[in-house]
Amino acid sequence: MPSVSRIVVITHGRADVEDALERVERLAGERGIEVVEESPDLAVVLGGDGTMLRSLKRFLGTGVPVMGVNFGRVGFLASMERDDLESGLGKAFSGDFEVVDLPTLEAEVGGERYPAVNDVLAVSGALGRMIELRWAIAGEDLGSVPCDGLIASTPSGSTAYNLSNGGPVLVWGLDAMAVTFVAPHSLHARPLVVPRSRDLEVTNLTGHVPVALLVDGHQIGELGEGDSVRVGLADQVSLLATLPESTFFQRYRDTFAS
């Protein structure tokens, strides 16, 4: 079982977590666990999925797993609700948790590389203007699609913007990315699930309309006409700590099927 002697607590910064923060610190003190800012054994997040994703990215490559207590609206990535804080974190502090390896993406554009825990978006840079994107997988041209944009998402990101655009949900454990168009003006632009080592290349074919590139919700640049971005599964994984009873399918049922 994992050993926990040091934790870091991350919040979404709103007043509704102040009491929860005190509860976490009190529980940690009772267990002889130190609350630190650097080199923790476990990161405890008090927030929603946005705070969870930022925390997963913060600890990418460090070997620190991230466990969430839901203080957001959906909380799909969280292991417990706020009322279950003591019982859930009590188990985690005793080492009774599992760590799920979640694939990440890497976007390469203009000689720079950007890691993505959630998704990479190529969307119209002009409000209300359609764009035309050419796309290819593993070097094989799949044609061009008039659309509002394209989403490449990880399994953890597949239940976010990808899902709301009709893309597939990727079950944790799949080493793949989902590729989904946003409002395609085509009957043939269907989502794809793409395995590792099959990189996606997206090229802007639109004259006078730039394509904005966003990684995990933050714009990293634009594609002018003829410019391309390459997206593929990265070597690093993000580490999601979860209670044994808080499985993917239990979360899926409670969040989306009820």
Q: Quick one: CA dihedral 74, 78, 79, 81, positive or negative?
A: negative
**Residues 258, 254: Cα–Cα separation, whole Å:** 6
> Active-site residue among 49, 119, 199, 216?
49
Of the candidates 60, 104, 112, 106, the one whose C-alpha atom is nearest the C-alpha of residue 221 is 112
The answer to whether residue 199 is catalytic is no
Q: Quick one: CA dihedral 69, 47, 119, 232, positive or negative?
A: negative
Contacts (Cβ under 8 Å, ≥6 apart) of 152: 105, 119, 120, 121, 177, 178, 179, 200, 231
Which of the residues are catalytic?
Answer: 49
